Amino acid sequence: MCGHCACGEPPVPEAPPAAAGRPVSLEDSLLARNNHLAAHNREHFRAAGVRVVNVLSSPGSGKTALLERLAALAPPGLRLAALVGDLATDNDARRLREAGLPAVQITTGQACHLEAAMVHRGLEALAEAGHPLTAVDLLLIENVGNLVCPAAFDLGEDLRLVLLSVTEGEDKPLKYPALFHSADVVVISKSDLAEAVDFDRPLAHRNVEQVAPAARLLEVSARRGTGVDALLELLLPASARAAALPVG
């Protein structure tokens, strides 16, 4: 893989042959390869001092709108960039660039999730566009809208942020436990619509806490900006927090 970034990382090894009597599934092989590449991405991120957030949710939950608002509220001096995954179109990346956030679209074709290798290629594209990792403090990865497949694929991120829109209903954490259980932060989005859709806030909180008891839970409205400053403060790299940069 890393003939591209010249880091000296050897090629990804082929999956070992199955031991006698123990078949290795294609899924096991794919995940093992992805985990190897994710660890390699993580080495690059740490060497550059970049904090990386993997943003996951169902389609239409407000990922792009939230990233637009985060860019608008970013403190002076905080250098952000984004990678955006979608099966087709570059609509979301164009929206983010119009909001002032350097962004590269990763078009996955038939793949319903991002993989570590896709992220590595996205980083190369960011660098070619003038935004190498050394010029980024916070990298936001907007994953493909899907509550199933992305749960299994590590991208090398520091934080996994999962959105639950009030328009989706309170039971999504119970229906898709793997993704929510993997979250470091759960964000209830579109909170300004909660009353209009009869969103049961206490029930939603209980469901999140049941499936992801260790996750931080926040409510935000990207449209109104409610709660976004608190989320940004949570996502800030340690260097920015140490510098006590103003938020909001």
Residue 246 scores a pLDDT above 70: no
Integer Cα distance of 191 and 151 in angstroms: 24
Residues of the chain with pLDDT > 90, as a percent, come to 82
Domain range summary for the chain, segments of one domain joined by +: 50-235
Write out pLDDT tens, residues 204-224: 999 999 999 999 999 999 999
Would you state the pLDDT for residue 242?
54
Residue 58, both tokens: 């169902």
Would you state the pLDDT for residue 12?
45
Cα–Cα distances in Å, from 23 out to 26, 82, 236? Answer: 10, 39, 44
Write out pLDDT tens, residues 6-59: 554 444 444 444 444 555 565 678 899 999 999 999 999 999 999 999 999 999
Per-residue HEC secondary structure of the chain comes to CCCCCCCCCCCCCCCCCCCCCCCCCHHHHHHHHHHHHHHHHHHHHHHHCCEEEEEECCCCCCHHHHHHHHHHHCCCCCCEEEEEEECCCCHHHHHHHHCCCCEEEEECCCCCCCCHHHHHHHHHHHHHCCCCHHHCCEEEEECCCCCCHHHHCCCCCCEEEEEEEHHHCCCHHHHCHHHHHCCCEEEEECHHHCCCCCCCHHHHHHHHHHHCCCCEEEECECCCCECHHHHHHHHCCHHHHHCCCCCC
Q: Quick one: 50-235 is in which CATH superfamily? A: P-loop containing nucleotide triphosphate hydrolases (3.40.50.300)
Write out pLDDT tens, residues 151-182: 999 999 999 999 999 999 999 999 999 999 99
Would you state the pLDDT for residue 247?
46
Note the pTM of the prediction, 2 decimals: 0.87
Q: Could you give the maximum distance between any two Cα atoms of the chain, in Å? A: 60
Residue located via tokens 């078009």: 107
* Ramachandran region, residue 201 (left: φ > 0; alpha: ψ -120 to 50; beta: rest): alpha
Mean local confidence (pLDDT), 78-96:
96
Integer Cα distance of 147 and 180 in angstroms: 9
Residue 44, both tokens: 């690059």
Q: Which backbone phi and psi does 103 adopt, to 5 degrees?
A: -145, 145
Write out pLDDT tens, residues 98-123: 999 999 999 999 899 999 999 999 99
- Give strand pairing partners of 218: 187
